[in-house]
Structure formats: C-alpha cells, structure tokens
Amino acid sequence: MRTRFDVIVVGGGHNGLVCACYLAAAGVSVCVLERHAEVGGAAVTEEFYPGFRNSVASYTVSLLQRRIIEELALRSHGLRIVPRPLANFVPSRDGAGLALPSDAAAASAAIAEHSRRDAERYAAFCAERAAVAGLVRPLLLEAPVDPSLGPREWLRAAVRLARFSRAPSGTAAALWQLLTGSAGHWLDGWFESDLLKGGLGFDSIVGHFASPYDPGSGYLLLHHALGDALGEPGVWGHAIGGMGAISRALERAARARGVEIRTGCTVERIEPVRAGFEIETAGSTYAARAVAGAVHPQLLFGRLIAREHLPEPFAERIDRWRSESATLRINVALSELPDFTCRPGRTAAEHHGAGILIAPSLGYLERAHTDARSDGWSRAPVIELLVPSTIDDTLAPPNAHVASLFCQHFRRRLPEGGWDEHKDAAVRLAIETVNEYAPNFAAAVLAVQALTPEDLERRFGLVGGDIFHGALTLDQLYWARPALGYSQYRTPLRGLYLSASGAHPGGGVTGAPGYNAARAMLADRARWPR
C-alpha cells in the first residue's frame, strides 16, 4: 500500500476534503486520513432509529461557499440544496407567533401584526445587514491581512481599507458596531417587538456561549448572514439526504481528482523530519512533504505535534484558546408533526419547514446564558427546532418525521457531576421546553439521539464541544485566528498548515478554511521539504 505522498490531509471533514480537491486539481498527490469509517466529520447523516435518518451534528446549509460548489461541480456529484419555505418561525405561548419569510416585504407584512413601527423599519434593517455582510463576504475566501508579517502586509491592509472606505458611512458604522458591540443593543436600536428581536438575536448566540448583550455577539449575528450557497445571500436551506450529502459529494469530487481517502485511520503522531513529515497511525507510517491539519487547533498542536517542536509563545496561545459552544444536539423520530398552540395543525405547513426558534425575547436569551454560567445549563433553553422531513421525504417513513433540536446553553463542564450522569435530564428539559409551545410534541417522540458537549468532543474532535473550533470573538478572529503571525494557514513548522475551522474565517460548513489553506499550500509548493 502506498504510504508516500506530496500532502497528507489529517481529517476527512468537509474542510479537509475541500483542501484535498484543490490540491489534487493542481497535480499534487494527496491522501486523506480519516479516523471514522466514513468521511464528513460533523457533516454526516445516519439512521438513528429504524427508518429514520437525520444529520447527526451540523444540520442546515447556507455558509457553504458557492464558488466551491461550482468549481468542484458538487451538484454533478449529487448535491442538491433546497431553501426553507420560511426563513424562521418564532412561536409564542401567548398570542400569535411570528413567521419570517426570506423576502423582506413579505416579512414586513407578518411583523405588522406585532408592531407597525417594526414593520416599517424591517426593510431598512435588512438592507443594512445585507450591506454590512456584503463588505465582509469577500474576506471569507482570502487569507487575512497579518501586520506582524512585515511591510508587504501593511500594503495589503491599505488595499483592504480602501475597499471599506468606499462603503457608505452608515454601513461602515454598522459594521463597527457589530464587530465591537452587541447584537442585543443593535437590535434594540431597530425594533420594539420581543418576538422579532428574539428571533433575530438567536443568530448571535447559536454555537456561542454568550449573552446577546455581550460585546462581540454582533459579529456572530453577522457571521450567520454571510452565506450564499443557494444563490441568494443569507438564505438557509437543507441538503437533500442530510448534511452527509455534502460530504458524499465532496468525497466523489476528491476521488475524481485522484485523491486517495483512507478511513479507519487514526493519526497518532505527526513528526517533522528532514524530508517533510512522518505521520503515524495504528500500524502504518506515512511520509509527506507537507501536511494539512483539518482538525481542531488544540488537537493538532496539543496532541499530534510534540510541544518541543513549537515556539513556546505559540504553544501558550493554543493552550489559552477558548473553545466552548455550550450546545446540546438532539435528533428525534416523530410519529406526527408538532402542533403549535399559536398556529394549530398537524398537517405540514410552511412554518413546519422553517427554523423554529424557541427564542421569545432577547431577555429570554440572556437568562439562558446567566443560568448556564451558574448552574451548568439553562433552565429555559434556547432551541432551534428543524423538521427536515417536511422538505426531504427520504429521511423518515410515510406519515412520520424527523426533527433536530439545537439547544443553548449546556456547558462542557458542569458544577457537579458529568454528562453521563445528567444527559437524560437535559434531554427531557429540551423536549419539555418544545412541548410548552407544541403540547403534542413529547408524546410524538418515538426515539432520541442526543449528543452532549462531551459527546461532540469525543465523537467529532470538537474540543469543548465547540462547533466553530474556537470562539468567534474579536480576539480569536481574522489575523488572530489562531494566532498573530500564523493566520494565513501556515504554522510554526514549515510545510504544516491549518485547514480547518480554527483558521479564518471560522466555523460552520463553509469550506473556506480548506479552500484558503490549499491556496497557501500551492503558493509554497516549491519550498516544501524534499
């Protein structure tokens, strides 16, 4: 069996596969080593109860870069993404819930039932959010400017600043507010309706252990508006067949380009040698001129690379890397659709295909964070409920459904005991919370698959259970991701690159870190060890 390649990609998640595709297309010999029996990392689909399949961890699509979809011809490899019929639905226990279509004019009409003032302002809000996202979106597929790397980087910074200087002053001011301030204060400045602010504010705390009033939460809200996978910026949808369909399409694209993919290969050590690197797995040793680490930075630099090979300041930065999403991920098999008190009916309707947000106000979101800080998890959790089987009938038997619950906030480490002890209670709390809005929900649950933060860490290598491979806060973004001087995918070891979400632009199923890392690697190809 061949064990020598130009590049070894450690980790077969979506970013590792994207990186491998672009390297192989340039004529580089590439092998992907993945410890699980299938590739995909957290973007996988599996049957968790007879006849019921769902995305296991990551669960919805927008951030996957359209350039990657097109250049790797993922549609021809079986990828099909369809939009949600509604963007979001925020149910209420008292009065009507709020349905938000993707179209701003239609959403304004729905908002008018709650606040005429907010309805009049919503189109302007959407325009401002889109304008700010438009400033940031081009940065996703570019290596960050890193001033610590010398004068040439200052010139690149001047070019970037010139781009931003052409933006209207109001857009630049909104960007600054979102980068440095809080989502809560920004939304309070726009709107008065609690349901509207709670629904919009959800994006500022999902996968992010914070209050919507914490500084930096504004960037999280913006981050979730940067996608364009469906051709329309900011729109979310579902991959038919679940998120595993993205990974399968990437695997086919990689194999078509000559990438060798070896599953069931757990990398135990990466050792720098004169000719590049030796990569040890159980029973085999691979050799490569360069390595792309498509894993969490604390796994790459804390476990696979011996500390003696790293500069101490860099190693200390990785030690201090903050990584905790405080999320509980649940899949359920349902005998029937949830019947919401505020919008009755068990027949599939538009709101059943939306992102259903248990987020009735910004205050609710803030209390969820406060509870978790003191008690380990929220007494009234924030939940996004999706029922993808309303759009994709391959996921469940006829007349039945699957649903996913993405729940905030559930800490990786609890004040007392561990997750093996408290998991069942946390799952019951999440189901009971949904049941308060849809009283048939608990009785309709046939089976449950749940992953605590500890499960996410053990199964997918998400240290701290962090779906983003590290908090998306200002001190861990852009040129500081993962460290100043090492933000351009290169690391302290020549020929070793970081190609996962711990690099710019961060987490979500984007493919951008893999794409950008491949570009950096190809630029350095002539300088790889021989």
Regarding whether 115 and 262 lie in a shared domain, the answer is no
75: confidence class by pLDDT, cuts 50, 70, 90: very high
3-state DSSP call for residue 453? helix
What average pLDDT does range 45-72 have in this prediction? 97
Domain that holds residue 233: 83-122+184-241+324-465
| pLDDT above 80: residue 369 | yes
| Strand 355-358 with 88-90, pairing | parallel
For residue 31, give the amino acid letter.
C
147: confidence class by pLDDT, cuts 50, 70, 90: confident
| Domain limit, last residue, from 417, 447, 465 | 465
pLDDT in the model for residue 89: 98
pLDDT in the model for residue 530: 77
DSSP per-residue codes, 72-99: TTTTTTT--EEE-SSSEEE--SSS--EE
Closest CA to 125 of 60, 192, 180, 61: 192
Measured on CA atoms in the order 9, 12, 18, 21, is the torsion positive or negative?
A: positive
Total of domains in the chain: 2
In a domain, 490, yes or no: yes
| Domain limit, last residue, from 430, 448, 465 | 465
Which structure tokens are listed for 41? 């990392």
In a domain, 151, yes or no: no
| pLDDT above 90: residue 158 | no
Q: What own/partner pairs with CB < 8 Å and gap ≥ 24 does 24-29 have? A: 24/254, 24/257, 24/258, 24/259, 25/257, 26/522, 26/525, 28/521, 28/522, 28/525, 29/5, 29/258
pLDDT in the model for residue 521: 98
For residue 229, give the amino acid letter.
A
pLDDT in the model for residue 169: 78
Which structure tokens are listed for 462? 């998400």
Regarding whether 313 and 253 lie in a shared domain, the answer is yes
Residue 152 or residue 323, greater confidence: 323
| Domain limit, last residue, from 465, 490, 516 | 465
pLDDT per residue as tens digits for the range 424-465: 999 999 999 999 999 999 999 999 999 999 999 999 999 999
In a domain, 483, yes or no: yes
Q: Give the integer Cα–Cα distance in Å for 88 and 335.
A: 23
pLDDT per residue as tens digits for the range 86-123: 999 999 998 889 999 999 999 999 999 999 999 999 99
pLDDT in the model for residue 481: 98
In a domain, 145, yes or no: no
What average pLDDT does range 151-180 have in this prediction? 83
The structure tokens 């509980």 sit at 328
> What's the CATH number where 413 sits?
3.90.660
In a domain, 195, yes or no: yes
pLDDT in the model for residue 142: 95
Regarding whether 373 and 458 lie in a shared domain, the answer is yes
377: confidence class by pLDDT, cuts 50, 70, 90: very high
3-state DSSP call for residue 343? strand
To 10 degrees, what angle do helices 169-180 and 151-165 make? 120
pLDDT per residue as tens digits for the range 314-361: 999 999 999 999 999 999 999 999 999 999 999 999 999 999 999 999
CB 497 within 8 A of CB 292: yes
In a domain, 497, yes or no: yes
| pLDDT above 80: residue 164 | no
Which structure tokens are listed for 381? 């959790």
Regarding whether 431 and 478 lie in a shared domain, the answer is no
Regarding whether 94 and 235 lie in a shared domain, the answer is yes
Regarding whether 48 and 91 lie in a shared domain, the answer is no
Regarding whether 342 and 422 lie in a shared domain, the answer is yes
| pLDDT above 80: residue 421 | yes
pLDDT in the model for residue 101: 94
Residue 170 or residue 134, greater confidence: 134
Regarding whether 237 and 255 lie in a shared domain, the answer is no
| pLDDT above 80: residue 160 | no
CB 354 within 8 A of CB 391: no
> What's the CATH number where 500 sits?
3.50.50.60
Q: Give the integer Cα–Cα distance in Å for 69 and 18.
A: 10
Regarding whether 230 and 258 lie in a shared domain, the answer is no
3-state DSSP call for residue 139? helix
| pLDDT above 80: residue 414 | yes
Q: How far is CA 103 from the centre of its chain?
A: 24
CB 61 within 8 A of CB 219: no
Regarding whether 407 and 376 lie in a shared domain, the answer is yes
Regarding whether 393 and 374 lie in a shared domain, the answer is yes
pTM of the model: 0.96
In a domain, 87, yes or no: yes
pLDDT in the model for residue 178: 92
pLDDT in the model for residue 244: 98
| pLDDT above 80: residue 192 | yes
Regarding whether 259 and 224 lie in a shared domain, the answer is no
pLDDT in the model for residue 526: 93
In a domain, 178, yes or no: no
pLDDT per residue as tens digits for the range 266-293: 999 999 999 999 999 988 999 999 999 9
| pLDDT above 90: residue 57 | yes
For the chain, give the percent of residues with pLDDT over 70.
100
pLDDT in the model for residue 503: 98
DSSP per-residue codes, 257-312: TT-EEEES--EEEEEEETTEEEEEETTEEEEEEEEEE-S-HHHIIIIIS-GGGS-H
What average pLDDT does range 372-399 have in this prediction? 97
What average pLDDT does range 373-391 have in this prediction? 97
| pLDDT above 80: residue 16 | yes
CB 49 within 8 A of CB 23: no
Residue 173 or residue 296, greater confidence: 296
pLDDT in the model for residue 294: 98
pLDDT in the model for residue 283: 85
172: confidence class by pLDDT, cuts 50, 70, 90: confident
> Kind and range of the H or E element at 520?
helix 512-523
CB 53 within 8 A of CB 287: no
163: confidence class by pLDDT, cuts 50, 70, 90: confident
